Amino acid sequence: MFSIYDFMDFFPKAIVQRGENYFENGHVKKVKEGKKGTWSARVEGSEKYTVTVTVTDNIIVEDYYCDCPYDGDACKHVAAMLFYLAENMTIDTTPAKEENEPEKKSAAKKKKPSFDSMLDSISQDEYKDFIKQYSASDKKFKSEFELYFSHKNESFDIVKAYTSIIRKLLKSSSHSGYMDYRSTKAAAREIASIIGTVEEYVAKGNLRDALSLSKTLIFETCKGIEYCDDSSGMLGDVIFTSIELLSELVNKSTAPYSIKEQSFDFLEKELDNSLYFDYGDFGYSLEDIFQDLALTLSRHDTYLDFIERQLKKYSHSYHRKNHYTCQKVIFLKSIGKISEADLLVKQNIDIPEIREAEVEKHVRSSQYDKARVLAAEGLAIAKKAGFWGTINHWKDSLLKIATLENDISNIRLLAKDLAFSSGFKASYYDIWKGTYNNEEWLPIIEEHIESLIKNSIVSARKPNFSSNPYLLEKIAPVYIQEGMLDRLLGLLKEEGSLHNVLKHHNDLIVKYPSELLEIYLPAFEEHCHYADNRSAYRELASTMIKVMKTLPGSDVPIREMALHLIKKYPKRRAMIEELEMV
């Protein structure tokens, strides 16, 4: 729950930025207040959408809805509406009347003229005078004014203008040719504001400039991502959003043929640049648009020539070669060249994606024998190559086939293997267990537990690690699934490192609070013994505080442990400072 004044902290940054652009450019129309604080409006962009927002006490947002196709939690249209409400709603700040306090007559409130009414009162000549004077003193305002009304000037070069803006922005954010984490986030926010301009052009029907600006955003921002720390992902989000805009633009029913042609030619050229693939999956998203346009424009030969160039270029790259081979198969089938596609499939059946498609085809036609053989061969190839993720994928395919055939023996074998082979997977565990009735299951799981105990590897005790990490890692999920919490508690008493106890805190707190505290106290002391820096001491203190808040009756014993450690290590000033917070 949030207010109309702090919703920006709860929505994605890109959504907030685009919503603010919509609001500032007057796209929130026909705002009406209904019953019980429910407000509705029409928000206009490339399409018109209805937004409703329910606000209680004139500030808290209880609910919101938009009928646009966006499948995230909150869209730019909702954000625009919230900006409007934050700007225009009147908050009643009159102090509550004390009981028995006599009513006082208040002077009539003076209504402050709204910004909109002020604009309505200004004449056209006054507008022009202001713009001329302000443009002369503020070059940024003049530049933004020219960009906003660029569609009124046929000679205006929007690509040149925005290329210059983005390059200057990236350069000013760089230090010695590199953008650090903070600078990258700031640059991303600035570039994201340009996305709203693309949407403005689309709303006005200016698809030519919208296309030019979309291409400029994609190309220039991708160049910038080479030399930055984008671990926040914000600059990448700007690129993906720009690609989405390009896709929406070329797929609009009103988009002229020339727009699609220009986009196709742009993509054919740009996708030869490895830049779009080296710093993210931008190239693959662009390729999807390129392939769709090839079908729409019937540019089949051009697309297939592009694929052949990529196959030749990446002939020694396993993943890229496989990718383009798969794309060729898909495209050939799309244009009705089935025999060519089938021949390519036979020649490249060892490519996992192609083999998987064939397996699925045989499954759909209930040819389970053929599907099983192909999946088993894929598993053998993956094992030989050491592709562990692909190995589990083929095991999963074999499990699905076994399920369709009701092959209980193989279901049990594969489900058990998948449940434990790469971490613990509860979904596969449930499948394995589901093949037995209750009487059959108990001896089966006890046998498995006994096997885990026998095969566990006992290692020498190390700081902050379990003496038997294999056993705890493998057997704890089984104990939890089977409700054998007493056994888990017993194992933690032996393997009671602070990390292990914290990991199973929520599993044991309800049933064994006092026993859990008895494990925590020595774990705190052991952790402190091996800690050797402020960060480790701070982690210990914060963990103690967290446990006190959630574990009933632990306050006094944990504080006593903190005092004990302070007395035990009087020369550890950093430790003392942190533990005094407990």
> The tokens of 107 are what?
């002077």
Give the per-residue pLDDT at 107: 41
Q: Is 238 contained in some domain?
A: no
447 and 538 within one domain: yes
> The tokens of 315 are what?
């002939």
| 3-class SS of residue 233 | coil
Residue that is last in its domain, among 435, 453, 479: 435
Residues 6+ apart with CB under 8 A from 76: 15, 18, 19, 22, 45, 70
Q: What is the dihedral of CA 38, 39, 40, 42, to 10 degrees?
A: -160
501 and 375 within one domain: no
Q: Is 400 contained in some domain?
A: yes
Residue that is last in its domain, among 60, 90, 120: 90
Please, which pLDDT band fits residue 49 given cuts at 50, 70 and 90?
confident
Q: Which of 523, 518, 526, 519 is nearest to 498 (CA)?
A: 523
Q: Is 261 contained in some domain?
A: no
Q: Is 166 contained in some domain?
A: no
User: Rounded mean pLDDT of 300-329?
Assistant: 96
555 and 467 within one domain: yes
Give the per-residue pLDDT at 54: 87
Give the per-residue pLDDT at 300: 97
75 and 54 within one domain: yes
**pLDDT greater than 80 at residue 94:** no
Domain extent, residue 84, equals: 2-90
570 and 468 within one domain: yes
Residue 234 burial (C-beta neighbours within 10 Å; 0-12, 13-18, 19+) = buried
495 and 443 within one domain: yes
Name the DSSP letter for residue 366: T
Which tens digit of pLDDT belongs to each residue from 101-147? 444 444 444 444 566 777 778 888 888 888 888 777 776 677 667 66
450 and 542 within one domain: yes
Please, which pLDDT band fits residue 90 given cuts at 50, 70 and 90?
low
456 and 392 within one domain: no
Residue 363: CB atoms within 10 A of its CB come to: 19
Evaluated on CA atoms 217, 219, 221, 222, the torsion sign reads positive
Q: What share of the chain has pLDDT > 70, as a percent?
A: 90
The DSSP element (H or E) to which 41 belongs, if any, is: strand 38-44
563 and 442 within one domain: yes
468 and 526 within one domain: yes
Which tens digit of pLDDT belongs to each residue from 438-477? 999 999 999 999 998 887 754 434 444 444 557 888 899 9
Range with the lowest mean pLDDT among 30-34, 305-309, 504-508?
30-34
Which tens digit of pLDDT belongs to each residue from 342-395? 999 999 999 999 999 999 999 999 999 999 999 999 999 999 988 888 999 999
Q: Is 316 contained in some domain?
A: no
385 and 452 within one domain: no
Residue that is last in its domain, among 435, 468, 493: 435
Range with the lowest mean pLDDT among 5-14, 332-341, 396-405?
5-14
> The tokens of 129 are what?
């005078």
Q: How far apart are CA 241 and CA 142, in angstroms?
A: 27
453 and 393 within one domain: no
Q: Is 484 contained in some domain?
A: yes
Q: How far apart are CA 207 and CA 220, in angstroms?
A: 20
Please, which pLDDT band fits residue 58 given cuts at 50, 70 and 90?
low
| 3-class SS of residue 454 | helix
Give the per-residue pLDDT at 93: 39
Range with the lowest mean pLDDT among 98-102, 208-212, 304-308?
98-102
Q: How many domains does the chain have?
A: 3
Provide the mean pLDDT of the chain: 87
Put simply, whether the predicted model's pTM sits higher than 0.75 gets the answer no
Q: Is 321 contained in some domain?
A: no
Residues 6+ apart with CB under 8 A from 60: 1, 2, 3
Q: Is 50 contained in some domain?
A: yes
- Helix 352-364 × helix 318-334 angle, to 10°: 40
Please state the three-class secondary structure of 57-82 as a single string: CCCEEEEEEECCCCCCCCCHHHHHHH
Q: How far apart are CA 243 and CA 289, in angstroms?
A: 9
More confident residue, 282 or 68: 282
